[in-house]
Structure 1
Amino acid sequence: MHYAHRVLARAAGRQQAEIGEIIEVPVDLALGHDGSAGEFLAAWPPGARVAIPAKTVFTLDHLLPAPTVEARELHRRLLSFGREQQVHVFARGEGVLHQVVAERFTPRRGWIIAGADGHVATAGAFGALAFSLKPKDLVKVLLTGKVQVSVPGVYTVEIKGSLPPGRTARDLALEVIRHLNREAIRGKVLAFQGEGVWQLSVSGRMALCNLIGETGAVTGLIIPPEETAPGTKPDLELVAEEIEPLVACPPSPANVRPLRELYGLPITQAVVGGCSSGRLEDMRELACGLGENKVHKDVTLLVVPASACVLTQMEKEGLAGTLREQGALILPPGCGPCPGKHLGLLAPGDRVLAATVRNVPGRMGSIEGEIYLASPRAVGAAAAAGAVAPVPFGE
């Protein structure tokens, strides 16, 4: 039985979990945020009580500070719900949901997580199984403390070897995406194993799992080394040393090309941060890409720490000050412009190179703006050059 199926079976108190079975399992964390809270609150039954308040987490991260009167009204409703139900609501700029979960709740292997967000699989970096829900389905989870799951099949990706200098977990994630058959993985768990992922830092593992929501898989995780099944042939095998810097071009994260094919393509905006690339390691990668250069006069560089803790670390290292001096704008911890709500939207004619999670037209503002996705190091190099440029391979 695969690790993912053992996790589900144990959670359900059973010996086996057969593919296609509908089972209910208790959750270790239930997650939401202000981006989906409006639908959630509209579906909440009057007078009902949350069954698992200590395991329920909401963040204000998509719309903080509130850009509209309606957003502020939503925040007040969510804060009132939090007080009444005694659930966790992080409302003071603590950071984006998935980073707050990683820092404050320490997901562990075998945990079951359910959340009203498309990128909860980020917790798969810790060996947890995390399922994305619609807001109305989160209501059921909070009322019962359980999530209903159709036991998925598993698609295994093995990464051999180690990433060479200048290549990052983001490049690895894009390499995986461009080799996947979306129909083959639809509705399955995307499971990673091999030295190429086990050698990644926690931040690197989170960056890899963060993009699982863009693959069509139901969720994904990194299999702990001791939990792999010996002799089992993976569905996809990649060699880390062969990976080069990559970029996802419009209109989807699946449109992946070598970065070198786009050298010289002008950009007007650059973004690093949020749930996909807002950790300290990402900020150091951005700084490496920039080198000692100023941000190009035609580029707006937006930097979004994933959490207040990350921002504090950046300030202690002097990294925040250096980035500001080079011309970057450091935004409040959270999602920043990635969801297209505020804090740096695109206008027609804008072209952004971002280390964020999605690049469908209109994602970050105008449908006529162009969104390209790459690593923080590649974003830094482009922000300095004013166009897509080679990434420095030094540390």
Structure 2
Amino acid sequence: MSEKKGMIMTVKHFMHSLAKAASLSEVAMGQEISIKVDLILGHDGTWPKMLSAWKQGEYKMAEGNKFLITVDHAFPAPTIEDRALQQEMAEVCKEKNCQLYNHGEGVLHQVVAENVDIQRGMIIVGADGHVATSGAFGALAFSVSAEELVPVLETGNYNLKVPEVVIINLDGDLRDDTMARDIALYILGNQEIEGKAVALKGSFIQKASIDSKMTLCNLLPEAGVVTAFILPEDSEEEGNVININVDSIEPMVAIPPGPTVVRSLKDLEGKKITVAIIGGCSAGRLEDMVAVADVLKGQFIHPEVTLIITPASSKIANEMDEMGLTSTLRNSGAVIMPPGCGPCPGKHFGLLSSNDVAITTTIRNSPGRIGAKEAEIYLASPLSVAQAAIKGTI
């Protein structure tokens, strides 16, 4: 695999977009700036902390703010407290004129992709760790804590220290046994990109579907990147460049205790599993569902494995129905979840016991993420997870 790094320079596209949002002629790496935000994002997972901090201040919304919120972490409500929270969210959103999606429309980042006209250079800030998913459309999307979102709500601006930009040039074609998520996992395990903005380009990116681009931008924040985004095809950007030939990437897997501890899947071959999870914000799109159905068609999952599949949105679920994918998956023994996050946040549906070993397409495998702290969680691609569900082993 060919990889090389060039000299560090500014990346014009990224800097120009930030300068425009800050109403400045230019910006430089390390500069503290305040940028105008085009879209603010939230969900039920971070809502309690955000609302508590918001009410401790002026509890106002800046004029012209667009605030989009989804109920996706615990829907339908698994507890009385969750139901009360959802009712509170509806009341506040009506009062503050926020756009609330609380009828099972899906997970936040897919809902945004389907319902917002995301423009290149658009500034998005959200209280979620994977807001950079919108970078697939060329947006500059930044994650903040629930408390840090409050000043953005009240002012419409986000204070940012301009990060260094790294260009990852992806060339070549995927192997038959790999997907975009294998590329993302490879990057997590092999590149030092923490604290940087990652710009993706190359011949693979030019040919990749929007589903694959979203998968890449979605998972890279697990390496601590400030944001990730797709560069224009005709871009001639220069900067700190990492070249990767994707045709040399094998199926990958992240092992406990974190997403950046990555190995080749073959290194864990034969590892027994009890739970397989596919879907959610990282791998619940139609491309993923088609790949999984192709593996499971005419097959049946291992008798000692529970396979849980969560479409990223109701739109995707409908498309699955129309294509006959839903019946194929159910006939294999899979459980189809309502659109949303699925088991990933550990809120409901599909919690792991201390004896479980799970292979999943979720975004995090820290101890206790999906239930018991003793459970083992391995992150892989939808293809790899579906194959493991049939065999009962990685």
Query: Which of 71, 77, 86 is equivalent to 1:75?
Result: 86
Query: Which of 147, 152, 173 is equivalent to 1:136?
Result: 147
Say which SS state the counterpart of residue 225 (structure 1) adopts.
Answer: coil
Partner residue, 2:245: 239
Query: Which of 297, 302, 306 is equivalent to 2:303?
Result: 297
- 1:226-305 equivalence runs, <5 A: 226-229=234-237, 232=238, 234-305=240-311
Query: Which of 329, 333, 336 is equivalent to 1:327?
Result: 333
Query: Which of 119, 122, 127 is equivalent to 1:108?
Result: 119
Query: Does 1:216 pair with 2:224?
Result: yes
Q: CA deviation at 1:24?
A: 1.1
Query: Which of 187, 199, 202 is equivalent to 2:195?
Result: 187
Q: Distance in 2 between matches of 1:228 and 1:303?
A: 40
Q: CA deviation at 1:52?
A: 5.0
Q: What code does the residue aligned with 2:43 have?
A: H
Partner residue, 2:5: none
Shift in alpha-carbon separation, 1:53–1:267, aligned structure 2, 3 A: farther
Say which SS state the counterpart of residue 226 (structure 1) adopts.
Answer: coil
**Is the CA contact (8 Å cut-off) linking 1:289 and 1:379 kept in structure 2?**
no
Query: Which of 112, 115, 134 is equivalent to 1:123?
Result: 134
Shift in alpha-carbon separation, 1:52–1:29, aligned structure 2, 3 A: farther
Shift in alpha-carbon separation, 1:54–1:105, aligned structure 2, 3 A: farther
Q: TM-score, normalised by structure 2?
A: 0.94
**Is the CA contact (8 Å cut-off) linking 2:65 and 2:156 kept in structure 1?**
no
Q: CA deviation at 1:90?
A: 0.4
Query: Which of 14, 32, 35 is equivalent to 2:24?
Result: 14
The two structures, once aligned, show a CA RMSD in angstroms of 1.4
Partner residue, 1:365: 371
**Is the CA contact (8 Å cut-off) linking 1:53 and 1:86 kept in structure 2?**
no
Say which SS state the counterpart of residue 94 (structure 1) adopts.
Answer: coil
Q: CA deviation at 1:47?
A: 6.5
Q: CA deviation at 1:288?
A: 2.4
Q: CA deviation at 1:239?
A: 0.6
Q: CA deviation at 1:187?
A: 1.9
Deviations 1:154-182 (A, max 9, x none): 1221112222322210011111112112x
Query: Which of 61, 71, 77 is equivalent to 1:60?
Result: 71
Shift in alpha-carbon separation, 1:52–1:138, aligned structure 2, 3 A: farther
Partner residue, 1:27: 37
Q: What code does the residue aligned with 1:325 have?
A: N
Say which SS state the counterpart of residue 158 (structure 2) adopts.
Answer: strand
Q: What code does the residue aligned with 1:380 have?
A: A
Q: CA deviation at 1:7?
A: 0.8
Query: Which of 340, 344, 348 is equivalent to 1:342?
Result: 348
Query: Which of 20, 24, 47 is equivalent to 1:37?
Result: 47
Query: Which of 149, 152, 156 is equivalent to 2:160?
Result: 149
Question: What are structure 1's unaligned runs of at least 5 residues?
Answer: 389-395
Say which SS state the counterpart of residue 349 (structure 2) adopts.
Answer: coil
Q: Distance in 2 between matches of 1:47 and 1:155?
A: 38
Say which SS state the counterpart of residue 83 (structure 2) adopts.
Answer: helix
Q: CA deviation at 1:218?
A: 1.1
Partner residue, 1:393: none
Q: What code does the residue aligned with 1:300 have?
A: T
Q: What code does the residue aligned with 2:228 have?
A: G
Partner residue, 1:93: 104
Q: CA deviation at 1:186?
A: 2.6
Q: Distance in 1 between matches of 2:106 and 2:209?
A: 20
Q: CA deviation at 1:196?
A: 1.8
Partner residue, 1:204: 212
Say which SS state the counterpart of residue 234 (structure 2) adopts.
Answer: helix
Q: Distance in 1 between matches of 2:297 and 2:119?
A: 36
Shift in alpha-carbon separation, 1:52–1:288, aligned structure 2, 3 A: farther
Partner residue, 1:354: 360
**Is the CA contact (8 Å cut-off) linking 2:274 and 2:304 kept in structure 1?**
yes
Q: What code does the residue aligned with 1:186 have?
A: E
Q: Distance in 2 between matches of 1:217 and 1:344?
A: 29
Q: CA deviation at 1:234?
A: 4.3
Q: CA deviation at 1:233?
A: 5.8
**Is the CA contact (8 Å cut-off) linking 1:52 and 1:142 kept in structure 2?**
no
Partner residue, 1:392: none
Q: What code does the residue aligned with 1:381 have?
A: Q
Partner residue, 1:391: none
Partner residue, 2:233: 225
